Each structure stands twice: as C-alpha cells, then as structure tokens.
Structure 1
Amino acid sequence: MPHSATNSANRLDRLPISKFHKITIGALAFAYFFEFADINTFAITAPKVRVQWGSDVSHIAYVTSLSFVGMFLGSVVAGALADRLGRKRTLTLTTMWFSVWSLATVFAWDMLSMGVFRVLTSAGLSAMTVVAVVYLNEMFPKAQRGKYQAYVIVIGICGTPATNLIASLVVPLGEQTWRLVYLWGALGVLFLLFLRRLAESPQWLESRGRHDEAETVLRGLEAEVTAEHGELPAAAAPVETEPTAKPGLRMLKEKRFLFPTILLSVLWITQTIGFFGFSSWAPTLLAAEGVSVEDSIFFVALTTVGAPLGSLLAALVTDRFERKWCLVLFGLVIAGSGLLYGLTFVPVMVVVFGFMVNLFERGYTALAYAYSPELFDTRGRSLGTSISYGIGRLSNAAGPLIIAALYSGFGYMTVFYFIAGTWITGALALAIFGPATRKLHQQTPEPV
C-alpha cells in the first residue's frame, strides 16, 4: 500500500544555510582533516620503521596493499551499519574506530603488528568517509549540497600538509619519535566534542518508518532556522510513494540499485587507480628516468599546491552545472594533463602539468562525493555509496602491481598511457551511462 512521506527532503531543501549547517560543516571538516592526516602516516614513517625493524621493502608493499583491502571492508560494513544504526551514530563509531587504531599504532612493536593496526585504521578511514558523504547529502539542501561538500574537503585536505610538516619536525628527533605521528592521527577522536550539536538524519529516520522522531528533528531544526532567519517558505507537498525493499544486499536484485552501484564502481575504480597511480609513482618514475631524487620530490611537492584549489574550483561549479558533465570534463582534463606530465622533463612543464592533475583531481573527488549518493534513494544511499567506494579502494590493491609490470615490461611512458586511459574510461562511462541528477530529482519523487 502506498503511504505518505514525512516530507523530510522537501522540508530540508527549503531551509537557508544556518547555524546548524555550519556546525555540521565544522564537525565533518574536522573528521576529514584527521582522515586526510592519518591516511598518509604510514608512507611518511615507513622509511624509519623499515630500518629500525630490519624489514624488507616488500613488507611495506604488503602493508600498503592490505590497507586498501581494509578500506573496502570498512566502507561496506559502514554502509550496512549506517542503514541499521543511523547516520550520526555510525559516523561517530567510525571516527572513534580509526582514532583508536591510530593510537594503537603508537605502540606497534614490529611490521606485523604495524600492518594489522594500519589495516584496521584504514577500514575506519574509508568507513567514516562514506558515512560523512551520505550524512551531508541528507542534511543539506540539494541546491547547495555540492558546494558545501567541496568546502568540507577544502578544509579537510589541509590535514595532509599539516601532518607532513609535523612529521618532518618530529621524526628526525629520535629513534622512536615516529610514534608521535600516529598519536597526532588519533586526535580525530575529539570529533566527540561536536556530537551533542549534530542531529540524526530525518531522511534516515523516515526511511525506517520512525516518522515521529523524524518530525521531532525537523521541527527542532525549523524552529532554530526560523529564529535565525525569520518565517520559512512552505515546503512542497508530501508525495505518495510505494515502499521499497528493506536495506541490505538483497537490494542488488533491484535494477535501480544495481545499475548506479556498477556505474559508481567504475567511477571509483578509475579515480582510485588514476589518482594513486599518479601520486604514488610520479616521484619514483621521475627519479628512475634521471631526475634527481631531491628534484623529483620538490617538483611533486609544488604540484600538490593545486589540491585545495581544486576543491575550491569544484565548489564554484558543482551546483551551477550538471555534476555529471563536470565530472566528465574534469576526468578528461586530468587524463590530458597526466599524459603531458609524462611526456616532458622540462622542470617548469613538469610542475605545470602536475599542478593541473592535482587541481582537477581534487575537484573531481569533491564532485564525485556530491554526485554518488544522489543516484540512490534514502534506503539504498548508504549501502550503494559504500559498496562502490569500497570496490574503488579495493582496486588499488592491484593497481601498483599493474603499474610496476607495465614499467618493467614496456617502459616509462606506458605507465602514463595507462593512467590517462583509466581517467578516460571513467569519463566515457559517465558520459554514456551517468544519470543527470538534476533531471533525476526533478522527475522522480524519492521513495521512503
């Protein structure tokens, strides 16, 4: 039997950006900051611990690859938990999870314990990311959610240079000071200070049939916004919708859930291999082709200045133009810039094209974070986003092996042809099969 919606989405969509939105931005940006901080800690400390524990380079590779397996498992589990326990509670649990295991890494005693702790930390990092993406999507008005998703990443991405700076100061101080880098990563647990100010997603409550609780949250938010901005415009009328299947893997039988999951898996596989293939291998390949190690690291450092600017660029275009076509354009620019990067050894050109890759890649990621959850209704949003994002991260367990084989067998340029090809594949898949989300939301009322 059809039933009336509590109308959460329509009521939230007509709210102006207010204090509770800004608190949500602050909380998510804080979590993202330590996610970006923690994701690079092993790469920064690996040279030190390898020598200290007498480990082989292959051990570093195993830990790195298994971390991406952890990311896959963490994101899928988090998607299911967010459907069962709620967005707010799962966001809290996943942030606490990666913080606790980062703290545990402070006390690692050999490469095996380090590997276990890093895999568990990585699972939490990926889990937190997908839940945060879904939470923001459901709490912000659809006309502006893309912009604020990008703003969250602009702030969050500063965690990477901040961690690099802290590591450069503390790691050289002594034999054991590398442990302080993981202590820094564990500070994400301070997210708990924001908890009291965050609301559960009314859309999730509504999807679970908890209409009275959704109504309570909505009225509280509306009263707060009215006190801040004055009388609110009327919300669009509730729509009659058919109940959908209960959340869970059984939803993979539904075409409207399976198709976007496959499409987004292609998007995240090509983004992951394309991004990590470039960022992880660029300095190594430059050095292997005769550029000094010092210069290769310096050149790559200069190119990363484009990363936060890319998120700002995404904020400017994401709500003005159809996100699908922004993603297609950004993907093609990354492919071209990455290829040109590999073709030149002129220092200025290396920096320019590397800057372009970083600029548009971070913009692409911000756009994809906004686009992905829009392809699902509330019941499928968390699980669909998490499965596709997790598969993307899992693909990088094989990505480095493919790139190493291409370099050994066919040479330097083949690697950049491969990386460009992954971005072009993602762009074409979106261009041909990707739904236009503005049109999608205008024509299809959301089932609850």
Structure 2
Amino acid sequence: MYHSNALNRLDRLPIGRFHKLTLLAVSFAYFFEFADINSFATTAPKLIDLWGITVDQVAYVTSLSFVGMFIGSIAGGTVADRWGRKRALLLTTFFFAFFSFASVFSWDLVSLGVFRVLTSAGLSAMTVVAVVYVNEMYPAAVRGKYQAYAIVIGICGTPVTNLIASLVVPLSDWSWRLVYLWGSLGILLVLFTRHLKESPRWLASRGDHAGADAVLREIEAQVAAEKGPLPEPAPPVEEVPVAKAPLRLLLQKKYLYPTLLLTVLWVTQTIGFFGYSSWAPTLLAKEGFSVEKSVFYVALTTVGAPLGSYLASLVTDRFERKWSIAVFGTVIAVCGLLYGLTFNPVFIIVFGFLVNFFERGYTALAYAYSPELFDTAGRSLGTSVSYGLGRLSNAAGPLIVAALYNSSGYRSVFYFIAGTWMVGAVALALFGPRTRQARIAATQRQAAAVEAPAP
C-alpha cells in the first residue's frame, strides 16, 4: 500500500524559509485575532457614557460573544477537517475580519452585539484551525517552540490595540469605531496565500497520499535548495484513513479522557483570562478611575503579554508541558488576586503586567499541549470541542462577574477569578498526560533513520 509518510518526512526537515513564512502568516492571523478579541472591552467604558448602557448589558453582550465562540470553535474544526487546514485558516480569518468591519457601522447596542457575536465566532474558529495547522506543519522536536513564537508575534496585537484604543476612543463620540476598523485588517492575510501549503498530514489522513506526496515534495524541494540534501525519514507508520471525524468519535476512550481534561483546562483559562481582560477597563472606570486612565492602565499591563509568550518558547520543548502549564496557572492566580486587592496605580500596572505575562505564556503552552493529546483523526475535532466548550463556559462568566460585583464589590470578582485559575492548575497537575517522552521518541526515531546505512 502506498504511503506518503507525511509525519516522518516533516519531522526530519531542518527549519528553513518555508517554516518562517508559515510562522509569519499564522502570526499575522493571530495578531489580528488578539487585536480584535478585546475590542468591545476597550470601547465599553465609552459606550457606557455615550449610549447609557449598564454593566449588566456589557455582561450580556460579552456572554453572547462566548456563545459565538463556541459555535465558531466547532465550525472551525469541522471546516478544517472537511476542506483542509489552509483553506479553513483563510476562510475563518476573512469571516472575523468582515464582521469586525461591520461593527464600525453599528448604530446601537443590539446591532453591535450581533456583529460582535459573529466576529467572536470567526476569531475562535481561526484559533482552533491555527493551533492544529502549526501542530501538523512543524517537526515534533520544535513545534511547541514555533507555536509559542506565533503567539509572541501575534499577542502584540493586544497591547497595540489597547494603546490605539487609549488614544482614539477619547477623541470624539465616533472615534471608538476606529478600534473595530483596525481589527478588520486581518483580511490582509490574503497576501500570504501563495506561501501557505495544505497540511500533508491532513491529506494523508483523508487517504490522499498522492496529494500529500505532492505537497511534501514541494516543501522538501524548497528546504533542500536552502539547506542542502535532506536526511532520510524514519520508516512510515500505517494510519487508517479517516474521511470525516463524527462527533461520536470523541466517545471512544482514547479521545474522551483528553477531551474532558482539555475542557477543564480551557474552561478555567477562558473564565480566568477574560475575567481580567474583558472587565478590567470597565471595573476600574466604575471604581472611580477615568475612562482614559482605566484604558491606559490596562494597555500598559498588556505589554507583558508578548514577553510571556517568549518565555513559553524557551520552556515549552525543554520541560514537561503539563507541569509548566500548572506552574504558570498558579502564578497567575496569585498575581491576579494581588491585582484585585490594590487600588494603587503602580501596583495595578505591576500585577496586571505579571498576569498578562504569565497568562500568555500559559496560553502558548496550552496551544502546543492540546493537539498533542490526539492523533490526526481526532486532533481537529477534539481540539475544537474542548476549546469551544471552554469558550461557551464564559457565557456564564460575565454574568457571574457582574453579579459578584453588584452584590459583593470589586474584590470578590478577583477572588473568583483566582480560584478559577487554581482549579485548572490542580486538575492538570493531577490528571494531565505527559507528552515530552513522545516528542523525544519521535526525535530519536528520526535520528536512528538518519544513522541507518543505506540498503
């Protein structure tokens, strides 16, 4: 039986220009995903003054956005399985960019809420596709590092957007709309189309070994022209072709356990992260800080985000990922609690910086860890369902935050968020599978294949 040997042929490639261009394209998509994901949070304080909306209404729009994220996650995984990783990455990016552009022309909270729900669906779908795409296109020994590198570049979209918002939102009664126009620029991913290749591992999983071989030969030719002759790949391992991954596939034991674990990981990460990022500007404004200062303080704290992703790139392939994620989650809980217990602007910025620093490191690690728990047949579906359920959980998160704030005050919100982070860290420490040994084994198999004498 003909076999493209996609996994081992990709694993033995040295990092070349092809990998760097792929990284740049994925990072570009991530940049505008992170740029757009908090757009509503940065404009909400202005809309409270301009449209007279309440904290509860902000909570409802935010909650519905997470319903959109859940739908988008499932849709993204389905599209990636059916039409391919490359096409899905382009389609989902175009989708969120289009509805971010539509948000520019919203005329009331209802219209803005509808556009934000659709934008959020596209953002979440794109994230699922990008995580799977990077996992399948890079050698096992360095895929965690390059997943983190993509986040390092992409996460810069958050502080850049927050700084832009801090400058343009206060200018006039209409200038808040420019924040959404900025988010729509993700559509420029089309400029990278010819540099992106379809995942040979996806093609092989569909039984299209000829198609996978054609893409692999093209990639190999590019890398060999730059790096010289390539080593022989390790022998192929047979995989049963899967034309379509039905939802019931996740009920199988080997998929159910990681799906449940990752659901806990993404539920706690989603509630914990968006508890800070979506609510910090609004709650600071409600506690007496001006709109300008609240948005500016939060913008300064997000400068830590790319640095945290870079830290993840240094540790992700060196240590066991589950332990790194658990440690990062614990530190986030402590720093986040201290953030909520102070009203000193300096401490708000310092602890907020640390929260963003470790949270984005946590996310980069989790993006690398999640798809590793599945094989090719279940990777897109398992990742999309667990990630989507995490996003869906935060449909309740903003309502809980608003209820806590209205009944018990500002600090109770941060007790709740810190506790959420600790639940995720403990669950992963106790039940998370280890993946480092499998990566080492893959590297050793490739090294043995290179050293083996030619027949």
Q: TM-score, normalised by structure 1?
A: 0.91
> 1:339: which partner in 2?
337
Contact 1:4/1:239, CA 8 A, preserved across alignment: no
Residue type of the partner of 2:74?
V
**What are the residue-to-residue correspondences of 1:229-244 with 2, within 5 Å?**
229-241=227-239
Give unpaired runs (5+ residues) of structure 1: none
1:191-219 deviations in Å (ceiling 9; x for gaps): 11111111000000000000000011111
> 1:388: which partner in 2?
386
In the alignment, is residue 355 of structure 1 matched against residue 362 of structure 2?
no
Contact 2:81/2:244, CA 8 A, preserved across alignment: no
> 2:188: which partner in 1?
190
Residue type of the partner of 1:180?
L
Following superposition, the deviation at residue 153 of structure 1 comes to: 1.2
Larger CA deviation: 283-292 vs 101-110: 283-292
Give unpaired runs (5+ residues) of structure 2: 444-455
Following superposition, the deviation at residue 23 of structure 1 comes to: 0.8
Following superposition, the deviation at residue 379 of structure 1 comes to: 1.3
| Alignment counterpart, residue 123 of structure 1, candidates 108, 121, 124 | 121
Larger CA deviation: 159-168 vs 15-24: 159-168
For 1:49 and 1:411, how far apart are their aligned partners in 2? 22
Larger CA deviation: 243-252 vs 303-312: 243-252
**Cα separation, partners in 2 of 1:339 and 1:175, compared to 1, 3 Å:** closer
For 2:80 and 2:328, how far apart are their aligned partners in 1? 30
Following superposition, the deviation at residue 82 of structure 1 comes to: 0.6
Larger CA deviation: 262-271 vs 326-335: 326-335
> 2:103: which partner in 1?
105
**SS of the residue 1:401 aligns to:** helix
Contact 1:5/1:241, CA 8 A, preserved across alignment: no
The CA RMSD measured in Å over matched residues stands at 2.6
For 1:31 and 1:322, how far apart are their aligned partners in 2? 28
> 1:71: which partner in 2?
69
For 1:277 and 1:67, how far apart are their aligned partners in 2? 14
Count of residues in Structure 1 that have an aligned counterpart in Structure 2: 443
Following superposition, the deviation at residue 58 of structure 1 comes to: 3.8
**What are the residue-to-residue correspondences of 1:387-426 with 2, within 5 Å?**
387-426=385-424
| Alignment counterpart, residue 131 of structure 2, candidates 133, 146, 150 | 133
Residue type of the partner of 2:315?
V
For 1:136 and 1:44, how far apart are their aligned partners in 2? 30
> 1:265: which partner in 2?
263
> 2:306: which partner in 1?
308
**Cα separation, partners in 2 of 1:434 and 1:380, compared to 1, 3 Å:** same
Following superposition, the deviation at residue 169 of structure 1 comes to: 4.1
Contact 1:202/1:217, CA 8 A, preserved across alignment: yes
> 1:45: which partner in 2?
43
In the alignment, is residue 379 of structure 1 matched against residue 369 of structure 2?
no
Following superposition, the deviation at residue 285 of structure 1 comes to: 5.3
1:115-170 deviations in Å (ceiling 9; x for gaps): 11111111001111110111011001111111111111111112223223333444
> 2:23: which partner in 1?
25
**Cα separation, partners in 2 of 1:416 and 1:21, compared to 1, 3 Å:** same
**SS of the residue 1:240 aligns to:** coil
For 2:395 and 2:200, how far apart are their aligned partners in 1? 37
> 1:60: which partner in 2?
58
> 2:205: which partner in 1?
207
**Cα separation, partners in 2 of 1:95 and 1:243, compared to 1, 3 Å:** closer
1:228-266 deviations in Å (ceiling 9; x for gaps): 101111111012345669412021221111111111110
Residue type of the partner of 1:420?
A
Contact 1:38/1:182, CA 8 A, preserved across alignment: yes
For 2:29 and 2:94, how far apart are their aligned partners in 1? 10
**Cα separation, partners in 2 of 1:171 and 1:200, compared to 1, 3 Å:** same
Contact 2:131/2:367, CA 8 A, preserved across alignment: yes
